Amino acid sequence: MLFRLAPGDPAIYLAGEGASLKEIEAVRTRLGLDRPLFEQYAIYIGDLLRGDLGYSYSYNAPVLRVFFSALPNTLLLTLTAFLISVPLGILGGLIASKKPHSKLDSVVTIGLLAAYSAPPFWLGLIMSLVFGVILHLFPVTGMVTLVGAGGYVQDLIWHMVLPVSVLGLGTAALKFRLMKSSMLEVINKDFVTLAWSKGCDENAVYYKHSFRNALLPVLTMLGLQVRTIFEGSALVEVVFAWPGTGWLMYEAIFSRDYPLLSGGLIVYSLVQILSSLFVDLLYVLVDPRIRYD
């Protein structure tokens, strides 16, 4: 409904510049946009129940085919950022919890929280300006520059540095902060005090007794961050002209491609549901006390 309330008409966009009213109406009739809004909604829900996300106006192809053709490019960014930010944030928070409130801890915490607080598109623009335009260290648009097989992987990695850094810094900051605070809370528990009194060494107390218990809140946050990374990826893809699903949705907004917009949001929602389910199942491996009967 929100998409339809936005100004603009996909029939005008598809009919082309200079099209007559009769041609625009013909396009609107072909797309079914001349029907009442609730009838269009009922038809869409019926198709959705059969697994049909509709037909993209602008790409003239099924939404699923269009969306999944761009999904690998998005996953390349999001998974890389996720795999880098998880160990960086968790290990950083674990190490910082051993010496809280030190000068190094304060500097790292302030820097990471500043990166987390900055909007992804703003941080992307600043990094593009500094490292791309001024210093000429990294490319700022697209996936590759080279044509042909030679050096393709290296060129792709070089193009990934800035967008992955923008996505990874913010998410690593939140993991760092949560892991640190969770560890500081757990190490004051009675069972940790008992471990110290039994003569356990420092590594055993921190990594065996404290770490697994402190990890549970972080796992919960990881499931929620999958959605956050996807949302951030959409903005980052627009800034760096990365041809993923975010860039696809961005183009769909301007072309008023209602089926592509709705289908993309549904896929994003399914990703969130599945990631939350995966985290719930992961709880059992981390904490054997948890059971789903």
In this prediction the pTM is 0.79
Share of the chain above pLDDT 90, in %: 10
Residue 150 CA to residue 178 CA, distance in Å, equals 43
Q: What is the pLDDT of residue 146?
A: 63
Which pLDDT score is estimated for 163? 92
CA dihedral for 25, 28, 33, 35, sign (positive or negative)? positive
Lowest mean pLDDT among 40-54, 184-198, 258-272: 184-198
Instruction: Provide the pLDDT for residue 288.
Output: 65
pLDDT tens-digit series, residues 49-107: 998 888 898 888 999 999 889 989 998 998 898 888 888 888 888 888 877 778 877 88
pLDDT at position 150 is 55
Q: What is the pLDDT of residue 177?
A: 85
Give Rg (Cα) of the chain: 24
CB atoms within 10 A of CB 260: 27
Contacts of 151 (CB under 8 A, 6+ apart): none
Other beta carbons less than 10 A from residue 283's beta carbon: 17
Average pLDDT of the residues in 210-222? 78
pLDDT value for 63: 92
Confidence of residue 203 (pLDDT cuts 50, 70, 90): confident
Interval 271-290 mean pLDDT: 74
pLDDT > 70 in the chain, percent = 93
Interior angle at CA 90, CA 222 and CA 244, nearest 5: 45
Quick one: pLDDT at residue 126? Answer: 92
What are the tokens at 224? Answer: 């929620």
CB 230 within 8 A of CB 70: no
Q: At what angle do helices 63-96 and 152-186 cross, to 10 degrees?
A: 50
Residue indicated by tokens 């080279």:
146
Which amino acid, one-letter code, is at 117? S
- pLDDT digit string, tens, across residues 96-152: 887 777 887 788 778 877 877 888 889 889 999 999 889 988 988 888 876 555 577
Three-class SS state of 61: strand
Dihedral sign of CA atoms 30, 36, 37, 41 in order? negative
Longest Cα–Cα distance of the chain, Å, equals 86
CATH topology of domain 71-286: MetI-like fold (1.10.3720)
**DSSP secondary structure of 61-85:** EEHHHHHHHHHHHHHHHHHHHHHHH
* Residue bearing the bigger pLDDT, 239 or 108: 239
144-192 per-position pLDDT tens digit: 876 555 577 888 889 999 999 988 887 888 888 888 888 888 887 777 7
How far is Cα 174 from Cα 235, in angstroms, rounded to an integer? 19
pLDDT of 217 reads: 80
CA distances (Å), origin 289, targets 31, 115, 293: 55, 36, 12
Dist CA 240 CA 140 (whole Å): 6
The CB density around residue 240, as the number of other CB atoms within 10 Å, is 28
Pair of tokens at residue 198? 């039994």
- Give the position of tokens 């928070």: 93
Average pLDDT over residues 4-18: 81
Place of tokens 């192809």: 61
In this predicted structure, what is the pLDDT of residue 287? 64
Q: How many whole angstroms separate alpha carbon 256 and alpha carbon 39? A: 19
Most confident of 64-68, 188-192, 219-223, 282-286: 64-68
- For residue 240, the model assigns a pLDDT of 92
**Residue 18 confidence (pLDDT):** 78
Give residue limits of the domains in the chain. 2-52, 71-286
